[in-house]
Amino acid sequence: MRFSIAIAALVPLAFAKTSYKNWKAYSIDTAGSTHDDVVKALSGINHIPIGEHHDAIEVAVDPKSLGKFEGLDLNVKLFINDMDEEFAKEGSFEEFSAARTHGSKKVAYPDQSYFKSYHSFEQHTQFLNDLQKSFPKNSEVFTTGKSVEGREIKGIHLWGKRGKAKNPAIIWHGNVHAREWISSMTVEYLAWKLVQGYGNKEKLVRSIVDSHDFYIIPIVNPDGFVYSIKSDRLWRKNRSKDDKKCVGTDMNRNWPYKWDIPGGSSTNPCDETYRGRKPGDTPEIKALTSHALAVTKKTGIRSYIDWHSYSQLILLPYGYTCDLNATNTNYQMKLAGEVADAIEDNSGSDFLYGPTCQTIYQTSGGSSDWVFDVAKAELAWGIELRPGRLTGDGFVLPPKQIIKSGEEIWAGMSALFKDLVKKDKPKYGH
């Protein structure tokens, strides 16, 4: 964002109305019992689910319910002692930037210092506008639609020397789950690296941008994101009002494909994985599906990634079933393995990869399944960013790790870009 370098505005993040003081986070081993039995046992405990895997459920537990929770005699491991103390590590909002020079010509790239703190929704929007102005001939800020509360769902479209919307698409979505702030920051870091790299004539960046159109939407759930900042740091869903008592639909259970498969979502509006009244009935998902189908019709989608946190996973189709694999699973597994290897070479982070249902758990109405089978993308992934499980951070990642996340994922995407450039170069003449 273009603010005077002499001005730094600090806005505390500790103004959320919901207090999680002394709330503790536990991992519950489900290997010795069924998932449903554990969920049923937790029904009388005031808790918030924060992670789920084949062999474990991770929950934040209200201190008032700790006695009852301990009385369940579950096999648990404590990994966060006080959720409020974790949130304090996120620091303060900070906004400042300085123009950067490119050769003899001044180009106002957003400054890297943007990635040293988390930001408000308005600052994220300004970042997109500034990024577009630094790449004016090959980009535009676009709006896919509006949220429940009327906020615009904005993204940036990047293209190369063949012109706008001439090449197969790469689509990235961030912050579908409101509390996963690192996802939008990482997506923006990747967009920033693409624009800078193109301006600096980096060979790989020039090759991938000249052979693909990028559609990058850092925050697809703006209402939930704002609510997670102002009211409840653990908020996950959007802000739709399908029920008098409970608010919100899990947007990653609302995509209109395999929406009502038993076991993959919830019909209870109070649950974290509530799928909505009807498939694709949230305005956010209507906007995202319309945009994806329009891109499919025009150029096709080469690669789609829905960015999440946490657990360090690369998740392929399918989520709705563990019995079927995508038609090109071997190809997707090969590329996912190369991405995971590149990340590990960069930072040492270990990313597990595989089909969603087989790797973590069943999900219905998910983005990757819809994008792969309906929008016909060649690659359709969900990537769970750092940290790994049980590290004490979860999706509450300190700002000092934003650039680390961006750099390791940039290394992974660079490996993917090499494959995509190799695949598309003969077709598109670059």
Answer yes or no: is pLDDT of 122 > 60: yes
Report pTM. 0.92
Kindly state whether residues 69 and 175 are assigned to the same domain: no
Residue at 245 is within a domain: no
The residue from 81, 96, 116 where one domain ends is: 81
How far apart, in Å, do the first and last CA atoms of the chain sit? 33
Please name which of 305, 99, 266, 66 lies closest in space to residue 183, comparing C-alpha atoms. 305
In this prediction, residue 161 carries a pLDDT of: 97
Three-class secondary structure of residue 157 per DSSP = strand
Kindly state whether residues 52 and 188 are assigned to the same domain: no
Residue at 318 is within a domain: yes
Listed as own residue / partner, the contacts of 274-281 with beta carbons closer than 8 Å and 24 or more positions apart are 274/237, 274/242, 274/246, 274/248, 274/249, 274/250, 275/249, 275/250, 275/364, 275/365, 276/240, 276/242, 276/249, 276/365, 277/242, 279/254, 279/255, 279/365, 280/254, 280/255, 280/256, 281/249, 281/254
The verdict on whether omega for the bond into residue 387 sits within 30 degrees of 0, i.e. cis, is: yes
The band of 6, judged by pLDDT with boundaries at 50, 70 and 90, is very low
Interval 304-362: pLDDT, tens: 999 999 999 999 999 999 999 999 999 999 999 999 999 999 999 999 999 999 999 99
The residue from 46, 64, 81 where one domain ends is: 81
Helix (H) or strand (E) holding 280: none
Is 287:276 a contact under the CB 8 Å cutoff? no
Pairing of strands 301-309, 352-355: unpaired
Kindly state whether residues 337 and 215 are assigned to the same domain: yes
In this prediction, residue 389 carries a pLDDT of: 81
Kindly state whether residues 308 and 422 are assigned to the same domain: yes
DSSP state of 260: T
In this prediction, residue 32 carries a pLDDT of: 66
Residue at 210 is within a domain: yes
Three-class secondary structure of residue 361 per DSSP = coil
Residue at 355 is within a domain: yes
User: Which CATH number do you get for residue 66?
Assistant: 3.30.70
Residue at 103 is within a domain: no
pLDDT greater at residue 388 or residue 355: 355
Please name which of 288, 264, 268, 287 lies closest in space to residue 276, comparing C-alpha atoms. 268
Number of folded domains that form the chain: 2
Residue at 254 is within a domain: no
Q: Which domain holds residue 68?
A: 24-81
Kindly state whether residues 74 and 144 are assigned to the same domain: no
pLDDT greater at residue 11 or residue 339: 339
Kindly state whether residues 44 and 154 are assigned to the same domain: no
Kindly state whether residues 210 and 318 are assigned to the same domain: yes
User: Which CATH number do you get for residue 340?
Assistant: 3.40.630.10
Kindly state whether residues 76 and 204 are assigned to the same domain: no
Is 344:350 a contact under the CB 8 Å cutoff? yes
Kindly state whether residues 326 and 178 are assigned to the same domain: yes
Residue at 4 is within a domain: no
Residue at 131 is within a domain: no
Kindly state whether residues 149 and 36 are assigned to the same domain: no
The burial of 267, by beta-carbon neighbours within 10 Å (0-12 exposed, 13-18 middle, 19 or more buried), is given as exposed
Task: Supply the residues annotated as catalytic.
Answer: 384
In this prediction, residue 55 carries a pLDDT of: 85
Answer yes or no: is pLDDT of 45 > 90: yes
In this prediction, residue 97 carries a pLDDT of: 55
CA 71 to chain centroid: 36
Please name which of 190, 200, 9 lies closest in space to residue 100, comparing C-alpha atoms. 200
In this prediction, residue 35 carries a pLDDT of: 74
DSSP state of 115: G
In this prediction, residue 17 carries a pLDDT of: 76
Looking up tokens 């599906």, which residue turns up? 289
Kindly state whether residues 37 and 158 are assigned to the same domain: no
CA distances from 290 to 154, 167, 171, 366 (A): 14, 19, 13, 16
Residue type, 4: S
Kindly state whether residues 329 and 409 are assigned to the same domain: yes
In this prediction, residue 105 carries a pLDDT of: 53
Is 329:267 a contact under the CB 8 Å cutoff? no
The residue from 81, 98, 115 where one domain ends is: 81
pLDDT greater at residue 14 or residue 370: 370
